[in-house]
Each structure stands twice: as structure tokens, then as C-alpha cells.
Amino acid sequence: MATLKDVARLAGVSASTVSRTLSGNIHVDEQTQQKVWAAIKELKYKPNILAKSLKEGRTNTVALIIPNIRNPIFPAVTRGAEDTARKNGFTLILCNTDEDLSVEKDYIDKLTNRWVDGFIFATARDDSSHIMELKSQGIPVVFMIRSIDNHSDTVTVDNRGGAYKAVDYLISRGCTRIAFINGPLDIDLYRQRLDGYKNALKEHGIPIDDRLIVNDVNDQDNGYHAMLNLLDKGIKMDAVFAASDPKAVNAIKAIKSRGLSVPGDISVIGFDDLDIATIVEPSLTTIAQPAYDIGTTAMDTLIRLIDGHQNAKPIVLDTHLVVRQSVR
């Protein structure tokens, strides 16, 4: 196999010129660069980055495992993760699983074999024991958005506190019959948001009415039919708390389709603060979560783990209320 010295000899330049050309140094003149590249091609020379990785057991590549980049919270999270990876000399492999465990396990197998240095998972569910197995093999793992226990490296937001803020705000605006459109309960963040909803009602002495709570709304329907269903049952309500902005936008659509007005007849509050919150009419009052910062913090944590620091602990980022036009 050709070496860097072989390339230098054929190109008629020094070994350090070959190095500098390979590293993209701008101080090598155009003509010299061309000679070097011609020699590299002729000798089929391969720089020894792979060899170095093999020796060090490190590739400076990490994997980000998410449900779906088309779910509108993930572009910002992914940008945060990638920006932090890049600033630290890492590259990011993006994996979408659509919550399909077999896809996720295939990715884990493939990437572990290729010596990805670590993983960030935004896909934890109650049945994610395969991720804990991966951790137990000593591979750096960080959980993001969803957590799995209290002693793993995890970056989430204060879901209980955020949901509490949403319901507390609705109550402060005079709402007392507050519906809750929620996601799947095998994902911990939706259980936490349900807790926050119930806590706020309890503290204000408002009885919890189970007919107003719709759990396990999936990403396909995303709240539209769940909301129609509540309306068509004739259950009295003056507000809806939706566990995500897309669900809130769909709830607004459903309410309007029945000839009711937002916020005149029913107030709506979301959770996320996505771009769509400013596009929908009325613009959406919502609980903002720091999507980009979730990504940067999770990547920072992963890189610290890869570098050998072992301070496993959950990081919980804060949320805040953004008041727009959808609450009376």
C-alpha cells in the first residue's frame, strides 16, 4: 500500500507539502496541489485517518437517534447537536427510527460495529432496555427529551413545571373546564405533562374530570379527531391544553370546523413554541421549550462522556410561557 512518502516522491514535493495539501492548507500553490492530487490518485493512496481511528478506537463520529426529523421540534434540536459536535471536531450521523424498534436496533448494531464514539437517543420509551444494554457495554450514551431513569446522562425540560404553567395561566384567565390532548403514556414526558396538568387543577381546587383528558394521541392524527370527538360528545369545556404545538394547531382547526371561535368560545394553549405558533390564527399562546439548547447540551454531555468524565446526572432545562392570541 502506498505511503505518504511515495506520494511525495511521485509528485516531486516534500512529505510536509503532501500533508498540507491533504489538510486543505491554503498556502500550497494551485499547481503543486494538482501534482499532489494526481499522485494520490495514481497510487490510490489513502490517508491514515482510518488507521489512526483503528489504533485509538476513536472516530470522532457520534450518532443522533431521533424519531423523525419531520416532527417539527427536531430540526432545531438537531441543529443544536450538530453545531456543538462540529465545534468540537465531531461529525454527526443522523438516524430516524419512526419509533420502530427494529430500525433502532439495526442502527445500534451497525454503528457500534463501526465504532461510533457515542450515541444520543431521543427515542426512549418504556421498552428501551436495548439502550441500557448498549450503555452497560461501556458505550457513551446520552438521553435527550425523553428520560429512562434518574441516574443516566439525560437532557430534558421541566415537563411537569411547563404543563403546570400552561394550566395555571388558563385558570388565571378564568378557565375552569380545561381539556388535555396528550401523547402516548409509554413516553415519560407525556406522563410528566399529565402530572403537571393535574397538579395545577388540584392546587386551584378544580376537580379532575377524566372525560376531558385524551391520552395516547398519535402523530398521525395529532389531535384533530381527538378534539372533534370531545366537541361532538358535547362535553362542556372553555379551554384546551395541547401537549405539543402541532396538536394545538390541529385542535384550533377542529374547533373552527365546528363553527366555534378561538379564543371566544374555547381558549387553546400549546407546548413547544415552534414557527407554526406564529403562523396559525389566532397566533398560539404556548409553553416554550429551548429546543436548540436541548441539542447543544446533550452533545456537550456526550462529548464529556467520550472524553472520560463520568458525572452521570439528569439536566433539566426550564420552560417559559409565551402569550399570544389563542387564550381569552
Selected binder of its own copies within 27, 31, 127, 137 (CB under 8 A): 137
Name the strand (E) or helix (H) holding 51.
helix 49-56
* Contact residues for 307 (Cβ-Cβ < 8 A; gap 6+): none
Q: Is 37 in the site for its own copies (CB under 8 A)?
A: yes
Q: What is the CA radius of gyration of the chain?
A: 26
Given a contact cutoff of 8 angstroms between Cβ atoms, the answer to whether 178 and 212 are in contact is yes
CB neighbour class for 71 (10 Å; exposed up to 12, middle 13-18, buried from 19): middle
Selected binder of its own copies within 15, 93, 321, 322 (CB under 8 A): 93
- Tell me the closest approach of the beta carbon of residue 309 to its own copies, in angstroms: 19
Given a contact cutoff of 8 angstroms between Cβ atoms, the answer to whether 295 and 134 are in contact is no
Q: Is 224 in the site for its own copies (CB under 8 A)?
A: no
Question: What's the half-sphere exposure (Cβ side, CA atoms, 13 Å) at 62?
Answer: 29
**Of 62-81, which residues contact its own copies (CB under 8 A)?**
63, 68-70, 72, 74-76, 78-79
Buried b (16+ CB within 10 A) or exposed e, 288-315: bbbbbbbbbbbbbbbbbbbeeeeeeeeb
Q: Is 273 in the site for its own copies (CB under 8 A)?
A: no
Q: Is 156 in the site for its own copies (CB under 8 A)?
A: no
Residue 264: what residue type?
Answer: G
94 versus 235: smaller Cβ distance to its own copies: 94
Q: Is 87 in the site for its own copies (CB under 8 A)?
A: no
- Tell me the closest approach of the beta carbon of residue 161 to its own copies, in angstroms: 26
Q: Is 22 in the site for its own copies (CB under 8 A)?
A: yes
Selected binder of its own copies within 10, 170, 189, 249 (CB under 8 A): 249
Nearest to 252 by CA among 273, 223, 229, 286: 223
- Tell me the closest approach of the beta carbon of residue 106 to its own copies, in angstroms: 8
Selected binder of its own copies within 3, 14, 94, 261 (CB under 8 A): 94
Tell me the helices (H) and strands (E) count for the chain, helix number first.
13, 12
76 versus 200: smaller Cβ distance to its own copies: 76
**Would residue 53 be called left, alpha or beta, if left means φ above 0 and alpha means ψ between -120 and 50 degrees?**
alpha
Q: Is 2 in the site for its own copies (CB under 8 A)?
A: no
Q: Is 4 in the site for its own copies (CB under 8 A)?
A: no
Q: Is 92 in the site for its own copies (CB under 8 A)?
A: yes
Q: Which residues on adjacent β-strands are paired with residue 315?
A: 155
Selected binder of its own copies within 2, 6, 61, 177 (CB under 8 A): 61
73 versus 212: smaller Cβ distance to its own copies: 73
Q: Which residues on adjacent β-strands are paired with residue 241?
A: 180, 269
Instruction: Single out the segment in contact with its own copies by CB under 8 A; choices: 111-119, 172-180, 235-243, 301-309.
Output: 111-119
79 versus 125: smaller Cβ distance to its own copies: 79
- Tell me the closest approach of the beta carbon of residue 124 to its own copies, in angstroms: 19
User: What are phi and psi for residue 233, nearest 5 degrees?
Assistant: -75, -10
Q: Rounded to the nearest 5 degrees, what angle is found at the Cα of 235, between the Cα atoms of 232 and 239?
A: 100
Selected binder of its own copies within 279, 309, 318, 320 (CB under 8 A): 279
Instruction: Single out the segment in contact with its own copies by CB under 8 A; choices: 102-110, 155-163, 258-266, 309-317.
Output: 102-110
Count of all residues that appear for the chain in the document: 328
Three cell numbers, residue 42: 495514481
Binding site for its own copies (CB under 8 A): 22-24, 37, 40-41, 44, 46-47, 49-51, 53-54, 57, 59-61, 63, 68-70, 72, 74-76, 78-79, 82-83, 86, 89, 91-96, 103, 105-111, 113-115, 136-138, 249, 275-276, 279-281
